[in-house]
Structure 1
């Protein structure tokens, strides 16, 4: 008799400083929320849900997808949205199943729960205490005891930008399939160190995270342990369980896994200075970009990036680039539904004057919205939909909402109705702009842009623009984090519990 699996996705990286609420409609914008349509949209894509569907197909299992929810990072997930998503998953598990495969983020904060993933797993365990559960997580997970207690197997992305999302699910799924076959008996050990690093400096492609991830990957790939993951954490969340963490999945005995775990975490603590971010004036960064020869010169505004909860309408970097006279540039997407509407009503070829961006205040950051008055010609109008061809989330459909291009003569600016982080060239090419032929490419991103744009870039200049995703953690007013915490307490020493 065929096995029955429950496969589900519930993903949100919650920026508690973001002014943007996250209702269920935010999740629905990414596609179907359940059933056959959700399966059709995810199957074959480089996503955790796509990876788990592949595992279920290979196992010859019957499977249901009661929830396939993913929303762009933003503020707190509403209580109603959280309850709708978790209830759908729990109700399906209640019907009975042989395994549960969950694509989660690891940094979801709801209005009524700090640990969205841990609470979901708690609810599943209350009705199905023994069902095997595989969980695939984002690299920016904020790990908790509830998450580890609730899962049978856990794996996290090894990359940032996340080009291994499907593979992360496959890694968890393969271990779970071996457990179902009686080949292995997964036992997890985990720990953390009180380090809150800026996302800009903890990517596994560079030190010091490169060494830590290398240790974990080698141990898993050589079969020393079943799975090993390191998580950088997500600093734009004012919650008590912020830390750098690691989870090791062992086979029956945990001694070897505990040795590896402590080696990874002790190395992280020894190299903690490498996780410090050093800010710089924006005017200096734009001037540096202007002084460089050749192109494209990619200018990444990491203070207002959608994939960390930014409003995507802060104009500080574009304004500074115009002020310093940069030419032959493309920029965007800027999220401004009102300006899109104005451009569509004017029509292609029309001259328009816009109050672009700056529509949203950020009280948690002490920032007021500041629109930029700008004139130009409407160059193109699209539905904002394209399929990703680059290495991150390959095959998924991006829906930016109605989109228009403003051509100022020196800069072509993509303006969209919805927020969408530019990690794929399609955000420009779908509306007739080839960023490979531009001198300057201004985008709002921290690391994900590297998936699609690093291969075409002659130079990359990081820009400290304003916004609620700033990399300088001193700009945030934390009231709920657990102290002492590095780098806020630079002279702290580890007590017995942390070490």
Structure 2
């Protein structure tokens, strides 16, 4: 058999001030094999999110045609012509590869472009036009996708990761590949059943209620005729009618009881809706709790609302300002995206002081800039951090470690969230000597910081990704929806 693999992943924030263009993909991750098939070079197997499909094809002795794999940091909707050019590269490669027996797409699920609310639905439908009705199309998604009817109807199987942090992409990819193989052999015929769950939010699968919901998903997958169940957490900072949570059941065509199964899981999911939201606390509450603790630390404070991985500017100053105002010592913060400040620090040099305006540049959700004297403690331009979701390495750009009062602040030139302590340790910071470590990340930091933290706090601020949703920002949501509407309830 022959398979075709392609990927394009971008999580779109309708309210972000950060533009998205073709360069956003090229500068972050844009990979094309030297040739599209039937056997792309080994690098394609090892380094990118669609590696699982290519690895399994190689192990089975199948022909593998690999198109581009592109990723951009979350931002505003992509420029229309740039999205279309990337999409059309995939489609042109597929036409050249035909005939194939299976198509596997690695997509996010919450990508928008100017003129397109649903980039994934658009891509899958156009792939279907090329393959015809009988070829298997399987799509692996990030659980933060806003899944649509178009996506469900144009594909044979939608399978999302189950864990947040997303550490199970490979396992879920293997599951999707197995479904595709059985479909291509004529052993099964699948369809996607979509059940919407009317809620906006974030849901950490490291917490007890969400762990129980995932256990129910795994139990459901053991039932005859049920090939996969996915919880779509949704991405709440987009504005179109399909935004919100959902359950996807990939079942045998004609399988009975699927709607009831999806509704039951959806109700369990809805019942866990406030578990993560309730963790968020104001910064002064958190600082008070740390001050009262007899433990030495480090205590990790997640600046959850200023996560570049959700389209935020990663330059908000709300927490930094309170640390300075309260005279906090033995604290470090990573990372503020401020290329201008980085450039000034590099010009000043290590050990020198400069008067600096830091952060607060990307809009009102970034707060006011911090003005004051900063000492340049360290400089680096080769730090890379590993994304636990896919094992990919991302450079943070030129970076500087500044001391402002008693606080060490890592400032960098490539906007991204914090995954790894190397964002600080790579600049010479000894985390064990600190009482407080602030990370600009919502949950993907957890995998590598939880083992070294005395305690973890999730800090709510007025940043871009606040869970205090303002209904006035939205014009196209399907209502009622929790927490905006108190009467929202699952089917």
TM-score, normalization by structure 2:
0.92
SS at match of 1:29: helix
Give the corresponding residue for 1:27: 25
Does the aligned pair in 1 maintain the 2:6–2:67 contact within 8 Å? yes
Provide the residue aligned with 2:169 in structure 1. Answer: 165
Structure 2, unmatched stretches of 5+, are none
Aligned partner of 1:416 in structure 2 is: 412
1:222 shift after superposition: 6.4
User: Hey, what does 1:124 align to over in structure 2?
Assistant: 127
Q: Cα distance 1:247–1:420, how it changes in 2: closer, same or farther (>3 A)?
A: same
> Which residue matches 1:209?
210
Contact 1:22–1:78 (Cα < 8 Å) also in 2: yes
Q: How far off is 1:220 after superposition?
A: 2.1
Q: 1:299 aligns with which of 293, 297, 301?
A: 301
Q: Secondary structure at the match of 2:50?
A: helix
Equivalent residue number for residue 331 of structure 2: 329
Change (3 A) 1:222 1:426: farther
Query: SS of the counterpart of 1:299?
Result: strand
Q: Which residue of 1 aligns with 2:194?
A: 190
Answer whether contact 1:314 1:466 (CA < 8 A) is retained: no
Structure-to-structure mapping, 1:323-402, within 5 angstroms: 323-362=325-364, 367=365, 370-388=368-386, 391-394=388-391, 396-402=392-398
Aligned mates of 1:221, 1:237 — CA distance in 2: 34
- Give matches, 1:85-164, under 5 Å: 85-95=86-96, 96=98, 97-129=100-132, 130-164=134-168
The answer as to whether partners of 1:485 and 1:492 remain within 8 angstroms in 2 is yes
- The separation in 2 between residues aligned to 1:221 and 1:296, in whole angstroms, is 42
Q: CA deviation at 1:213?
A: 2.0
Aligned residue in 1 for 2:84: 83
User: Please, which moves more after superposition, 270-279 or 410-419?
Assistant: 270-279
Count of equivalent residues: 483
- 1:287 maps to 288
> How far apart in 1 are the matches of 2:344 and 2:333?
19
TM-superposed CA distance for 1:426, in Å, is 2.2
Distance 2:421 2:223 in 1: 36
SS at match of 1:67: strand
Q: How does 1:380-459 map to 2 (within 5 A)?
A: 380-388=378-386, 391-394=388-391, 396-408=392-404, 410-459=406-455
Question: Deviations along 1:199-250, whole A, 9 cap, x unmatched?
Answer: 1xx1223254333322112222566621111111111111111232111112
**2:482 is aligned with 1:486:** yes
Measure how far apart 1:493 and its partner are. Answer: 5.7
The CA distance in 1 between the partners of 2:377 and 2:69, in whole Å, is 36
**Whole-angstrom CA distance in 1 between matches of 2:224 and 2:25:** 37
Q: What is the CA distance between 1:398 and its match in structure 2?
A: 0.9
Q: Match of 2:487, SS?
A: coil
CA distance in 2, matches of 1:378, 1:64: 49
For residues 291 and 374 of structure 1, do their structure 2 counterparts lie closer, same or farther at Cα, with a shift above 3 Å needed? farther
Contact 1:29/1:399 (8 A) holds in 2: no
Distance in 2 (alpha carbons) for counterparts of 1:336 and 1:310: 13
Contact 2:383–2:422 at 8 Å: present in 1 too?
A: no
Q: Distance in 2 between matches of 1:224 and 1:435?
A: 50
1:11 aligns with 2:13: no
Residues in 2 aligned to 1:208 and 1:86: alpha-carbon distance in whole angstroms? 38
Instruction: Determine the C-alpha separation between the residues in 2 that align with 1:456 and 1:341.
Output: 32
1:261-280 counterparts in 2 under 5 A?
Answer: 261-269=262-270, 272=273, 277=278, 280=281
Shift of 1:112: 0.7
C-alpha displacement at 1:410, in angstroms? 2.1
Alpha-carbon deviation of 1:120? 0.7
